[in-house]
Structure 1
């Protein structure tokens, strides 16, 4: 079985990352990878990553860290996508586990947040299967916010 790794987006993996494709039904639920990478160039809190299966780029994830915010809002995962050819094989969950472990390794990370459209039921179910819970809050009155607490993460059984 090939190994899943996550590496920052660079000039060397930029083209494969922007060429990743979503399933048609998902295209209206997430910003494009090229938009997300552009966003990371004007917002230094964002870090874009390529998800690799062996030597092949199969997905994209972006983290958001702002040390000036209150604890519950310091760490976010604003983007995650797996190429349509690799969906349904557990790679998204494995990638999230890697990112979550990396973020929780920071002493000031007590929780991780993310958001999605309320109509994106499959994404909500996916994030809840990892351990995220809906907070009842809305991001910019448009998206539901989900949160994963560090103590819950380390006390639960994972993938």
Structure 2
């Protein structure tokens, strides 16, 4: 097993937002994840979301967004995308693990963290299960729901 790369999150700012919106997934993945520009706009108008850029060393490699749903009171990982140039190197798994730790440190952390993904996206499903998410069998807005139990 290879060593996982180290990633960090940085806020989306006036200095890096353009780099973030230039990140792209592979052509066949475009129907599976919203573009970063959409997510940044969404977070600008819905303050329950926190958008973050994912960096490895000095290079932006992806995008991560999370938030607490006011309806169910649970934290959701709303977006994860790794640029097509950096996929397959472990950045997605490292970012999910880092994101889980970030959410667990929130004072109002929910007992479960939720993620959903397009049912056809088998790679995402396997990744989320590898880090501890368990599919619930529910389909939410056309996506497969999975939950991660927060251990206290």
Q: Same fold (TM over 0.5)?
A: yes
1:75 equivalent to 2:78? Answer: no
Does the Cα contact within 8 Å between 2:66 and 2:79 map onto a contact in 1?
yes
Shift in Å at residue 70 of structure 1?
3.7
Q: Which runs of 5+ in 2 are unaligned?
A: none
RMSD over aligned CA atoms reads 1.7
Residue in 1 that maps onto 2:114? 113
2:62 pairs with one of 44, 59, 63: 59
Residue in 2 that maps onto 1:31? 34
Distance across 1 between alignment mates of 2:56 and 2:63: 12
Residue in 2 that maps onto 1:100? 100
TM-score normalized by the length of structure 2: 0.90
1:9 pairs with one of 12, 16, 24: 12
Tell me the matched-pair count: 148
Distance across 2 between alignment mates of 1:89 and 1:3: 11
Residue in 1 that maps onto 2:43? 40
1:129 equivalent to 2:130? Answer: yes
Shift in Å at residue 129 of structure 1?
1.1
Shift in Å at residue 3 of structure 1?
4.3
Does the Cα contact within 8 Å between 2:114 and 2:146 map onto a contact in 1?
yes
Please state whether the residue corresponding to 2:24 is helix, strand or coil. coil
TM-score normalized by the length of structure 1: 0.86
Shift in Å at residue 15 of structure 1?
0.8
Structure in which a larger fraction of residues adopt helix: 1
TM superposition outliers: structure 1 runs of 4+ over 3 Å? 68-71
Distance across 1 between alignment mates of 2:66 and 2:103: 9
